[in-house]
Amino acid sequence: MSATPANDDAALVLTMQRSESPGEREAAFHLLVARYWRSVVLLADSRLNSKSDAEEVAQEAFTRAWRSIDGLEQPGSFLGWLLRIVRNAIIDQIRRRRNDRAVQSNSSSSSIDAELASPGEGPEAETDRRDEIEAVSAAMERLPEKYQTVLTLRYLQDLPHEAIARALGEPIGTIRNRVFRALNLLRGVLHVERSTKS
């Protein structure tokens, strides 16, 4: 049987829980951080509109996860557990921010993904692609959190629907539906924006 992300997660979590060697525990933890760091930062960024705040939240969330990992009874559900910690960390950050009232601007400078770049296309086409990507990204940030989460897990983490369902503790049909609806919502938002422009 091939190893699924959940299996990998479980093995790493068990290493962290059972290993007596601090080095092994830290290495296992680092692998989990490396696996989910970008998704966590993106999810936080979409709520906070600040990359630096998002990274701070991600660090906080992973530190909390490190502290409480021994209490995680189902190692295979690490991702869902982590996402709950992230959500709480985001809420804490928003509360802190309300006190500070210091909202930073989002300074995400998107680079064109090589996946979309076609050879032989000029700079104009590249600019158009960048525009489309940014339009979709901006529209995505306006989606409800649950949709953003499934899209990030599906298209950034490349998790199959089953793994997402396991991580979030939802039926697979719900997850499929949520991805479908999220894409449809984005399509609708883009359609409206395009109609408004023209």
Please check whether residue 185 is in contact with residue 147, taking contact to mean a CB–CB distance below 8 angstroms: yes
Please check whether residue 190 is in contact with residue 135, taking contact to mean a CB–CB distance below 8 angstroms: yes
The nearer residue to other proteins, 89 or 140, going by C-beta atoms, is 140
Q: How many residues bind other proteins (CB under 8 A)?
A: 61
The nearer residue to other proteins, 2 or 198, going by C-beta atoms, is 198
Distance from C-alpha of 80 to C-alpha of 100, rounded to nearest angstrom: 30
Map the footprint of other proteins across residues 115-134, applying CB under 8 A. 115-116, 118, 125, 128-129, 131-134
- For residue 125, the one-letter residue type is A
Does the protein bind other proteins through residue 78 (CB under 8 A)?
no
Give 67: exposed, middle or buried? Use CB within 10 Å, 0-12, 13-18, 19+: exposed
How many CB atoms sit inside 10 A of residue 153's CB? Answer: 25
Residues of this chain that interact with other proteins (CB under 8 A) are: 26-27, 29-30, 33-34, 37-39, 41-42, 45, 51, 55, 59, 62-63, 66-71, 108-113, 115-116, 118, 125, 128-129, 131-137, 140, 151-152, 155-156, 160-161, 176, 179-180, 183-184, 186-187, 190-191, 194, 197-198
